[in-house]
Structure 1
Amino acid sequence: MVALVKAEFRKIFTTSLWWALLVPVVLLGFGAGWLGGSIVALIDSVEKLDRAVPLGLLSVSMSTNFSTIFAALFGAMAFAGEYRNRSITTTFLTGNPRGAVLAAKLLAYSGIGLIYGLTNVLFASLGGLLGTGLDFGSFGSPADWLSVGAAGVLAMMLWTLLGVGFGALVASAVLAIILPLVYKFAVEFILSLILIGSPVSGISPYLPGTAGNGIVANMAVPLFVAAVAGPDEPDTPRAVFEFLHLFFGGSYGHPWWASLLTFVGYTAVFIAGGWLASRRRDIT
């Protein structure tokens, strides 16, 4: 297994895909952080507030929930890229059984997902600090920042692993790229709009994209509101939460850990489906 994992890392680092998809993560993270920090600085210049406005927490949530698609696409190419390049035959023959190949890819790609997650949090934090003029209060307490940052890293890793399972399932580079993009930014968006006010609106937090976004957003939004509202946070109108969730992801009243468990379930389903499909697929 160690040899298989090393082989996967060699495949990853001998191509440019891993850093090419990391570039937009860096840009999105820094841009979201800088924008949030600049807004905080603008508010503070107009009116001095009696407490910090930790928009940095929301910036990390926003950058994470936009950047996870790149982690998913990278993971999807773990198998789909090999089918496209026709190197999958050699991979399966030298890494028999096929389940061992999947396990090695999951381990290697989770490591890259960790790098993506840490990079996102780092650059979102850097952008936020520069936007506020090095005001660390824009990220709330250290515990808040660490909690949201850790959730962001975990979300990035899970999206990467879901991508690996999806790539193994479809075994097509074209589908591995198009379907996640269409679903996350079109299909689920339309579904969410349809579900608003419907009798089954309660299923919205359990949709894959919403659940994945909620891992970070359902933690960041309540922490932000609690920091801004202070002791009056329980009296904060629901509309405030829903407005923030509209822009930063997640669902009102849905705990982050429930989103995490839901998305872990989706990830497990795609990995299991990819494993079954790869076992039966002809590679000759």
Structure 2
Amino acid sequence: MGGLVKAEFRKIFTVNLWWALLIPVAVLSFGAGWIGTAFGSIEQMQEAAGRSLPTGLLTVSMSTNYSTIFAALFGALAVAGEHRHKSITTTYLTGNPRGAVLGAKLIAYTNIGLLYGLVNVLSASIGGLLGAGLDGFGNPVDWFTVGGAGLLAMVLWTLLGVGFGALVTNSIVAVLVLVAYKFVIEFILSVVLLGSEIAGFVAYLPGAASNGIVGNLAVPIFISAVAGDSEPYVQVEAFQVLHFFFGGTYGHPWWLSLLTFLGYTAAFVLGGWLVSRRRDIT
């Protein structure tokens, strides 16, 4: 297994895709951290409170929600890219059994997912420092908590991408489906379900679940900093507005979002493994 993992790292760093997708993560996260801390309604809340508020935590959540797509795309091309370039035959023949190959890819891409997560959190934090200063992150425990959730979300999206790529094998289809679902299809589903009897199901959709891993931590921490002891009396609309912009779902615990998205990740990885071990590669 060690040799297979080393081989995967060689494949990753031999081509430019890993840093080509990492650059937009850094740029997007930095922009979200800088611009997000100057968001109009948030600035008004700070003025009303008369003190600095942990707006940086919200922007870490927002940057994670958008940046995870790049990790997912990178993961999807782990297997689908090899099918496109016809190198999958050699990979499977030299790394038999096929399950070991997928396992090696999961190990290698977990580490790359951590790298993407670190770049995301640090870039968003630097942008937040410029926009809100050091006081814009609350206490260090809150920053490490939200940042750690961001790392976890990025890793899970990377692994989901690996599983999805192994499932569909077509790199173009994998990229188009992931982007379309994350930014179009799920949004349409959310709008359609809004106000219906099953509106609560939205929180269990893949995108909403992944957003909730970070957003359902960051938003309550921010509300607590604003309201203090009166937090239970804060209007629901305040939570909903923040969740709309920064991710998550009102009243939905972060750990339930984590378990939900972990289930999606496991399902795609398992599906990719089952399909890949029976697929003809000649």
Q: Classify the secondary structure of the residue corresponding to 2:277.
A: helix
Q: Which residue of 1 aligns with 2:84?
A: 84
**Separation in structure 2 between the aligned mates of residue 183 and residue 37 of structure 1, nearest angstrom:** 28
Segments of 5+ residues of structure 2 without an aligned counterpart are none
SS of the residue 1:280 aligns to: coil
Q: In the superposition, relative to structure 1, how do residues 37 and 146 fare at CA in structure 2: closer, same or farther (>3 Å)? A: same
Distance in structure 2 (CA, Å) of the matches to 1:255 and 1:160: 23
Letter aligned with residue 239 of structure 1: E
Q: Distance in 2 between matches of 1:20 and 1:216?
A: 25
Question: What residue in structure 1 maps to residue 196 of structure 2?
Answer: 198
- Partners of 2:26 and 2:119 within 8 A in 1: yes
CA–CA distance in structure 2, aligned partners of residues 131 and 198 of structure 1: 39
Q: After superposition, where does 1:253-264 map in structure 2 within 5 Å? A: 253-264=251-262
Instruction: Report the number of matched residues.
Output: 280
Residue number in structure 2 paired with 1:8: 8
One-letter amino acid of the counterpart of residue 270, structure 1: F
Write the distance in 2 (CA, Å) between the matches of 1:235 and 1:38.
26
One of 153, 156, 159 as aligned partner of 2:154: 156
Q: Name the % identity.
A: 65
Matches within 5 A, 1:208-227: 208-227=206-225
* 2:163 is equivalent to residue 165 of structure 1: yes
Q: Give the drift of 1:39.
A: 4.7
Deviations 1:69-120 (A, max 9, x none): 0000000000000000000000000000000000000000000000000100
Distance in structure 1 (CA, Å) of the matches to 2:271 and 2:47: 55
Give the whole-Å Cα distance in 2 for the aligned partners of 1:39 and 1:175.
36
- TM-score, with length taken from structure 1: 0.96
Runs (5+) with no aligned partner, structure 1:
none
Query: Within 2, Cα distance between the matches of 1:47 and 1:236?
Result: 17
Please name the residue that 2:37 is paired with: 37
Q: 1:179 aligns with which of 174, 177, 180?
A: 177
Distance 2:137 2:263 in 1: 31
Distance 1:146 1:178 in 2: 33
CA RMSD of aligned residues (A): 1.5
Residue 18 of structure 2 is matched in structure 1 by 18
